[in-house]
Amino acid sequence: MRGLRCLSNVDVALGPAVNVFVGANGAGKTSALEAAFLLSHARSFRSGAKETLLQRGATQLSIFAELRHADGRVRRLGLGRGGGRWEAKLDGAGVALGQLVGECAVVCFEPGSHGLIAGAAEERRRYLDWGVFHVEHAFLSLWRRYQRALKQRNSLLRASSPPADELFAPWEAELALAAEQIDQQRRDYLDRLRPKLRDSLAGLLPELGAFELRYRRGWSDELDLAGQLRGQRARDLARGHTTLGAHRADWSITFEQAPLREHLSRGQEKLTALACLLAQAELYAEQCGEWPVVCLDDLASELDLAHQTAVVTLLLAADAQVLLTGTELPVALQGLPAQVFHVEQGALTRLL
């Protein structure tokens, strides 16, 4: 890790099971997890501008990692940012960003994870599409087609004078075709996720009873999207953007004992988000034959001891690699095999 926040020049050899980064607040513990997450998502799980990733005074940041798959394959990953764009490498050769993030799977539970349940729809779409991306090989090209058509339609909507109707038709047809396919892939993924989610929620939040996962695709089920876009065109022209489509999709979870999201406490929101992440990780393992790397940022302050223990026990049984942070070694890990690193002023030292 080079030039990432307070990490100037850090190398670390991680163990295959639990790795714990301990130290004071602001020492750089979370940045170590952030580096792994960046390789899998090409974005941070922390809020703030992309520019804050770059260490003050540094001109570029880079992350290099060696990834060993369950089948024994070893890949060398590289991600760098010097100007305004990310550059990706795989085994020393430059590759598209999508190829890099498709190689490395990382899920993360952190203090902002409750936003998956209580926050904006964008975060829930990211969660859903990350899962679809790793099981549907055509998803990325399909999503790019959709984004291109959406960009072109929005450009027409923002033109200084209203464009002719025939200029909209090809982009609306392309938008509708891609959206229908994206919608079907999302539905298929959620169908596979539901049983995993049922098990993880039963283990973490049994007191809330049965759950229901609801999905809204972003346009009405009554008409095809192309027809709805035509009918919505005047309103979209007034607003300057497309208000229907796959980019407006959302999903939600309700419980028998909490039929509205507002009925959940902050702690229950966190546990629901954690259940979603663990369910996604387990489904990934089932589909891909190996668990993703699991990051748990500030575990002891986010979960009580009983839930910490339950999560750690599950991950140890699954033989997953875990990266975990805390101001000290969490009680749930004491006596268990783990590699422990002390982090101070951006430097890492192995303790155990």
Amino acid identity, position 241:
H
Q: Look over the chain and give the mean of its residue pLDDT values, rounded to a whole number.
A: 94
Q: Which of 239, 248, 242, 218 is nearest to 230 (CA)?
A: 242
pLDDT tens, position by position, 99-158: 999 999 999 999 999 999 999 999 999 999 999 999 998 999 999 999 999 999 999 999
Angle at the Cα of 194 from the Cα atoms of 188 and 196, rounded to 5 degrees: 120
Model confidence pLDDT, tens digit, residues 254-305: 999 998 888 899 999 999 999 999 999 999 999 999 999 999 999 999 999 9
pLDDT of residue 47: 75
- Is the pLDDT confidence value at 50 over 70? no
Confidence of residue 59 (pLDDT cuts 50, 70, 90): confident
- The predicted pLDDT at position 298 comes to 94
Q: How confident is the model at residue 243 (pLDDT cuts 50, 70, 90)?
A: very high
Q: What is the mean pLDDT of residues 3-13?
A: 94
Distances (CA, A) of 152 to 157, 186, 213, 314: 9, 24, 33, 46
Sign (positive or negative) of CA dihedral 213, 177, 142, 46: negative
Q: What is the mean pLDDT of residues 147-172?
A: 95
3-state secondary structure of 222: coil
Core vs surface per residue 274-297: b (16+ CB within 10 A) or e: bbbbbbbbbbbbeeeebbbbbbbb
pLDDT score for 288 = 94
Question: Which residue has tokens 């004491």?
Answer: 334
49 has a pLDDT exceeding 80: no
Where are the chain's structural domains? 117-288
Under CATH, domain 117-288 is a member of which superfamily? Answer: RecF/RecN/SMC, N-terminal domain (1.20.1050.90)
